[in-house]
Amino acid sequence: MFKLYYYPNNASLAPHFLLHHLDADYELLLVDKKSNSQKSLDYLKINPAGRIPTLVIDEQPIFESSAICMHICELHPESNLMPPIGNPHRPLFYQWLAFLNNTLQAELMVRYYPHRHTNDEATIPNIVAAQDDRISDALSIINDQLEHNEYLLGDTLTACDYFLFMLAGWSLPIEKSPLTFKHLAAYLKRLCSNPTIEAVCNIEGIDLAPFKSYS
């Protein structure tokens, strides 16, 4: 059994999508961010970074959302959530997952936690404004990729799409949100009809209405 330590609409969302997609035997364990439970001594024993998520498999804890996603995919190669070794899309899978994690997610974290990146609170509005531009640039690259592709890697749904949907939700408050990009917005609307996305968002209390409203 998998044990996923999660918080709603957190970085645990992508692994949650994968576990549901696979119909895996898993248990959700809430880490209450409101009470800072991710910094508790018990949680730090399995995740010394003190962040969410953590996945425990056969008593082995794994942290970092992208690493968890890759590991789940490798445990279930029959799912095609990650292209097999030798497939020309395999390196593209790594490319896009790394881009989502290291570029888009990283820029979002600076945008939402600007106080961590300055010693002068007066500069925070400037950091937020600059991050909105950088996030928009990343979304534009993704939008271009989707112009002629149903999914990020082509015509097959992969873990990258679930990871992107997670980040797209976090990007909605940005001045130039994902819904301002034609191909990305249409893609997100299509994904809203994915049974796993519908089910998991219902479990985590995530409203899909903004994505569905695109026309």
What pLDDT was estimated at residue 208?
Answer: 96
Query: Which one-letter DSSP state was computed for residue 62?
Result: E
Number of C-beta neighbours around residue 13 at 10 A:
27
What are the residue ranges of CATH 1.20.1050.10 in the chain?
90-212
DSSP letters for 3-16: EEEE-TTSTTHHHH
Whats the size of the chain, residue-wise? 215
Q: Please tell me the distance from the alpha carbon of residue 134 to that of residue 111, in angstroms, as a whole number.
A: 10
Q: Please tell me the distance from the alpha carbon of residue 197 to that of residue 114, in angstroms, as a whole number.
A: 30
What are the residue ranges of CATH 3.40.30.10 in the chain?
2-79
> Number of C-alpha atoms within 13 angstroms, CB side, residue 125?
1
Q: Which CATH entry fits the domain spanning 2-79: 3.40.50.300, 3.30.70.3040, 3.40.30.10, 3.30.830.10?
A: 3.40.30.10
User: pLDDT tens across 19-63, in order?
Assistant: 999 999 999 999 999 999 999 999 999 999 999 999 999 999 999
Among candidate residues 60, 65, 70, the one with its CA nearest the CA of residue 49:
65
What pLDDT was estimated at residue 215?
Answer: 64
- Give the CA dihedral 23, 171, 157, 93, nearest 10 degrees: -110
Is 86 exposed, middle or buried (CB count within 10 Å of its CB: 0-12, 13-18, 19+)?
exposed
Q: What is the CATH number of domain 90-212?
A: 1.20.1050.10
Which segments in the chain show pLDDT lower than 50? none
Q: Please tell me the distance from the alpha carbon of residue 108 to that of residue 169, in angstroms, as a whole number.
A: 11
Q: Please tell me the distance from the alpha carbon of residue 83 to that of residue 98, in angstroms, as a whole number.
A: 15
What pLDDT was estimated at residue 213?
Answer: 82
Strand (E) or helix (H) holding 99? helix 90-99
Q: Which tokens in the block code for residue 175? A: 């001045």
